[in-house]
Chain A
Amino acid sequence: MEKQIILNTTNVGKYFYDPVKFKALDGITFEAYQGEFLTLVGKSGSGKSTLLYILSTMDTEYEGELFIEGEKITGQKLDNLAAIRNKNIGFVFQFHYLLPEFSCLKNVMIPALKLGKFSHEEVEQQAYQRLETLGLKDQALKPASKLSGGQQQRVAIARALINSPKIIMCDEPTGNLDSKNTQIVFDTFQQICREFGQTIIAVTHDNDFAAASDRTIELADGKIISHGFKK
């Protein structure tokens, strides 16, 4: 079966200028396919996070080109990029980054309210559903800051899923979690790929996590050293 390309880059490079000019990424060309659970690994300083932020459309200062679903992203206006992120990309960060003043439910709802595709009531319904699948329904109305780390990370995942984005990007999603929560997060990700055909691109240090994913791209010194296709 021919896999559909959801995201690809051609020859992406990135420089850092502070403190000295330094090439963090060099000639990155790869594809991510629909429904794929892709992990980016590499030593600290290998450029994997830098690459993720370029893929996320948030970092716009790079060479080369980025395409999402065949659409050229490089060079688009910032407001357009924000709309693309809202619709197509969900984020999960290492330090869960929820909005502390809002309830968990609101945190999950905000990207959907921003998208404006559904009414407030429908969004609320969907947010409840997401939280329920992640086992957090009874925490829904608590302020985000009152939850444990693992719970917060699951809320963040619910938020990343709310708009049913094509791609979910994660920066060390399990870096801060104990093994039990890591397992929950991992299972959730696998389910997302299998059942909903969404693509996950995750940066990780966790070798077990990477080994269990569909494919692992390995970076070293800003270059891809292995595309990780299974023989």
Chain B
Amino acid sequence: MKIGVNKEIAFTHLLSRKRQTIVASLGVTIGIAMYIFMNSLVTGSNRYSDNAIFKTCPHVRIYKDDVMSVPLANDSSGNHATVIINPKIANISKNLINPVKLVNDIKKQPEVIAAAPLVTVSLFYNNGKSQMNGTTSGINIMEANTMFDIQSTMVNGDLKTLLSTSNGIIIGIGIANKLNIKLNDNISVISSIGVVKLMKVVGIFKSSNVATDKSKSYMNLAAAQQLLQQGPSYVTDIYVNIKNPAMAPAFASKLESLTDYTGEDWQSANELFVAGKKIRSVMFLCITWAILLVAAFGIYNILNMTIAQKLNDIAILKATGFSGKDVVNIFVMEALIMGVIGNFIGVALASLCVNLVSHIYIGADIGYFPIQFEPAITLTGVIVGMLVTFGAGYIPARKAAKVDPVAIFRK
């Protein structure tokens, strides 16, 4: 009942000044719409660029890092100097020991979605006299596909053909163009240790990265092992994908302690990209908050004006038994009602903007603009919007609560 009469007064105030109410609400509308829209934009493009990274980079890569040679004998007594000439990278095999068990162990971790062993080989692609250098990944192509979605980048051929073609290779479109190679042509490759193999092109892919297209290829694990003259247990890397890519650094160090090899998360492999993403986020955060604050000032201003014009009414309300709390209640409620209206239209406007922008065609492998309706951001936007309007209402409302009725009546 008590809330009822306050609400009634708040509504009457708002309805008797429709234009002010609408203007203040529209301020919130624009603030909220921009907040949701811009954040959706950032989230959408971040998601897209993350995905682009994840097309070539696993969440975590396990490999055996180079170690520096150590003194053969360490003299701990301190009487003699330890002598070692020219410390350098120890020439130890990069092979991961017992890769099958290692992969199985990794797959048992609850966070893991996929784990695949692979052999990375530096090589030259040859066709006649033309030659290009690059790297190939010997990997089970179907496992690689679940991680990197290679299928979606294929412009020619089919991934599955590789499984049935032991000397098959899938090359980037840059290599194919430069060496003038088409699907089902042969290509000769020379590995860094001089092994030559004739491969059959079973597929051509086109990623979003030109450098990758000009150097990267995929082949079967066994073929890559042959290029290095190694047996079937030879594996240089294990690629691991986990459920939440953001947790990769923690998971990498967990794997390090579990396996004794080096774990590299995608963030440290792409530091520049991660830094760029952070800068973008901060930038947009500033912009969206600035817009929200402007909207809040709109409400603050209009309520301040209303209160200044309604000093008489406030004095009467207080005289007839409304306490300071009730007065705060009334004006905060007015702010919140304007906030709710503003939020409601704001969400609608943001959805419309998102919908419009998502129909803009960008081209390349992006296709349409990478933006979609983000429920989490919308919810945050609505909550933030309500908090801001509450604040913008509360400050002038407190001033109203302090109005001294006697001072008003005496004038």
Contacts and interface: CB of A to CB of B under 8 A. Distances in A.
A78 B324 contact: yes
Interface stretch (B8-16, B146-154, B243-251): B8-16
Interface stretch (A2-10, A36-44, A114-122): A114-122
A82 B409 contact: no
A111 B16 contact: no
A122 to B, nearest CB: 11
A195 interface: no
Contacts of B326: 82, 114
Given A97-B312, A120-B4, A102 B12 contact: yes
A78 to B, nearest CB: 6
Contact of A82 (B4, B9, B318): B318
A83 B324 CA distance: 11
Contacts of B9: 110
B5 A114 contact: yes
A103 to B, nearest CB: 9
A159 interface: yes
29 contacts: A53-B406, A53-B410, A58-B404, A59-B406, A79-B324, A79-B325, A82-B318, A82-B321, A82-B322, A84-B321, A85-B320, A86-B322, A93-B409, A97-B312, A97-B316, A97-B409, A98-B316, A101-B12, A101-B13, A110-B5, A110-B317, A111-B320, A111-B321, A113-B1, A113-B5, A113-B8, A114-B322, A116-B2, A171-B409
B209 interface: no
A79 B321 CA distance: 9
Given A82-B323, A110-B9, 15 more contacts: A58-B404, A58-B405, A59-B406, A83-B323, A84-B321, A85-B319, A85-B321, A87-B321, A91-B320, A97-B312, A100-B313, A101-B12, A101-B16, A106-B8, A159-B320
Contact of A86 (B320, B405, B406, B409): B320
A114 B410 contact: no
A102 B11 CA distance: 11
Nearest to B9: A110
B319 A58 contact: yes
B8 A53 contact: no
A225 interface: no
Nearest to A111: B320
Top 9 A-B residue pairs of the complex, sorted by shortest distance between their CB atoms: A86-B321, A113-B5, A116-B1, A82-B323, A101-B16, A79-B323, A111-B320, A85-B321, A59-B406
Given A49-B410, A79-B325, A101-B13, A114 B405 contact: no
Interface in B200-229: none
B111 to A, nearest CB: 56
Interface residues of B, number: 28
B323 A99 contact: no
A199 interface: no
A56 interface: yes
B8 A56 contact: no
B355 to A, nearest CB: 40
Main secondary structure on chain B at its contact with chain A? helix
Given A56-B319, A110-B9, A99 B410 contact: no
Contacts of B317: 99, 110
Contact of A110 (B16, B318, B320, B406): B320
Contacts of A56: 319
A99 B13 CA distance: 10
Contacts of B1: 113, 116
B254 to A, nearest CB: 58
Contacts of B16: 101
Contacts of A98: 316
Contacts of B13: 101
A99 B316 contact: yes
Nearest to A165: B321
A120 B406 CA distance: 30
A46 B16 CA distance: 41
Looking at A82, A120, A159, A171, the one whose CB has the most chain B CB atoms below 10 A away is A82
Nearest to B411: A95
A20 B313 CA distance: 30
Nearest to A54: B406
Nearest to A80: B323
B312, B315, B320, B410: most-surrounded residue (chain A CB, <10 A): B320
A85 B315 CA distance: 13
Contacts of A110: 5, 9, 317, 320
Contacts of B325: 79
A113 B9 CA distance: 11
Nearest to A116: B1
Contacts of B404: 58
Contacts of A116: 1-2, 5
Interface string A113-151: 111100010000000000000000000000000000000
A168 to B, nearest CB: 12
A30 B16 CA distance: 45
A159 B320 CA distance: 9
Interface in B1-56: 1-2, 4-5, 8-9, 12-13, 16
A98 B316 CA distance: 8
Contact of B319 (A79, A91, A102, A120): A91
